[in-house]
Amino acid sequence: MSPPAKPPSKFIPSNRPVLGPEEIAIVTKILESGMLTHKSGAGTYVRQFEESFSEFVGAKHAIAVNSGTAALHAALLALDIKPGDEVIAPPFSFIATTNMVLLCGAKPVFVDINLENYNLDPDKVEAAITPKTKAILPVHLYGHPTDMDPLLELSHEHNLRIIEDACQAHGALYRGRQVGTIGDVGCFSLYPSKVITTGEGGLLTTNNDEVAERLRRIRTHGEIRPYEYVMMGHNYRMPEIEAAIGVEQMKRLPKFLEARRRNAHYLTKHLSDVEGIVLPQEAEWATHNWYLYTIRVLPPRSRDAVQKALHQAKIGAAVYYEVPLHLTPIYRELFGYTEGLMPVTEQAVREVLSLPTHPALTEVEIAWIVEQVRQALA
């Protein structure tokens, strides 16, 4: 039996970090010790966090850095993406995905998405491959995996590297394998809105020993021993405080994923008969982590009007992302992109609306979300 729906006492955000006394206690312990970081980027808690994450995803190596953006940049550098190269990526993502390609001096080449899971359409990738193409950068958007097998086949055929943007996809599975372990390198974000958080922070995963060593050098100025620098690098070190929070968050991760799945199933069950929307689907080969529960509001109904109504009802329904990457000013100016080049993406940005599924939701709150969505679309 569903709980009664009633107005929440405070705003329900689209995502909310779940932190407890364990995180507070371990941060206090580090502050009192004075050991806030390690010049190699591999302090005690960083190593512990890396070991915990690599074990969880089944990767040989996990390398902690100070943001998901840093993870993406380090991955591109480690795989020797350089000026003149091209990297294939979807235009429906956060801008860090392709800005890091630009930061390497390479060119992002956009390939449109599909509407089933909002990820790179593998059927459209081969046509975008040129002699300059060096990598494919699929994004497991909203926590649903990209269909990776066709991309792996293309990578073998054309000698390309694959960098997985798994920044939203902790715990998502592709044909039983954890995302981030399928390509050459996986990149994860630990921003406060993500499935687990360290405040800021990121992780890289790989099964390649040589790539892992390059990533560790990159995060600390290309250094292999004190004052011996063998390659270009950055200060991408993760502080001990962040890593210690990550250690505690890893203990909670299975329950976080369980709660998100439960909340998503509740939304699907109680919204499946609502006209004018398309509910998110989970492919038979995928396990969604339900980082975001993204519906599409179909014309003639207005997505923006539905979002406004939900905000008035204290529900943080969010649009990820309102402007596709190829139509942001920087890409218009650099490459002359215009509307109509990526029609599926351009349709998605007009229709998508993400509802809260985070573990902090109460039964009363999720019942309220269902009721207000139904009213907004009545």
Q: How long a stretch of residues is the chain? A: 378
Give the rounded percent of residues in the chain with a pLDDT score beyond 70: 98
Residue range(s) occupied by CATH 3.90.1150.10 in the chain: 252-377
CA 373 – CA 246 distance, rounded (Å): 34
CA atoms in the 13 A half-sphere facing the CB of 281: 12
pLDDT at residue 40 is higher than 80: no
Residue for token pair 């229709």: 351
- Burial label, 126 (beta-carbon count in 10 A; 0-12, 13-18, 19+): middle
CA 213 – CA 287 distance, rounded (Å): 31
Q: Which fold has domain 21-248?
A: Aspartate Aminotransferase; domain 2 (3.40.640)
Q: Among 337, 321, 323, which Cα is nearest to 107's?
A: 337
pLDDT at residue 1 is higher than 60: no
For 137-166, write each residue's pLDDT tens digit.
Answer: 999 999 999 999 999 999 999 999 999 999
In this predicted structure, what is the pLDDT of residue 228? 81
CA 333 – CA 327 distance, rounded (Å): 9
In this predicted structure, what is the pLDDT of residue 298? 97
In this predicted structure, what is the pLDDT of residue 101? 98
CA 366 – CA 59 distance, rounded (Å): 35
Other beta carbons within 10 angstroms of residue 31's beta carbon come to: 12
Residue range(s) occupied by CATH 3.40.640.10 in the chain: 21-248
Written as six digits, the tokens of 345 are 């993406």
Q: Among 145, 91, 86, 98, which Cα is nearest to 113's?
A: 91
* Lowest mean pLDDT segment, chosen from 129-143, 196-210, 212-226: 212-226
In this predicted structure, what is the pLDDT of residue 2? 63
What number is the average pLDDT over the span 311-319? Answer: 97
CB 231 within 8 A of CB 220: no
SS3 at position 179: coil
CA 99 – CA 366 distance, rounded (Å): 36
For 220-245, write each residue's pLDDT tens digit.
Answer: 998 888 888 888 899 999 999 999 99
Give the rounded percent of residues in the chain with a pLDDT score beyond 90: 92
Mean pLDDT of the chain: 96
Q: Among 323, 325, 317, 292, which Cα is nearest to 376's?
A: 317
For 69-97, write each residue's pLDDT tens digit.
Answer: 999 999 999 999 999 999 999 999 999 99
Asked if omega into 300 is within 30° of 0 (cis), the reply is: yes
CA 156 – CA 145 distance, rounded (Å): 20
In this predicted structure, what is the pLDDT of residue 202? 98
Other beta carbons within 10 angstroms of residue 11's beta carbon come to: 10
SS3 at position 318: strand
CB 363 within 8 A of CB 6: no
CATH number belonging to the domain at 252-377, selected among 3.90.1150.10, 3.30.565.10, 3.40.50.720, 3.40.50.10800:
3.90.1150.10
What number is the average pLDDT over the span 43-71? Answer: 97
pLDDT at residue 283 is higher than 60: yes
In this predicted structure, what is the pLDDT of residue 4? 61
CB 358 within 8 A of CB 324: no
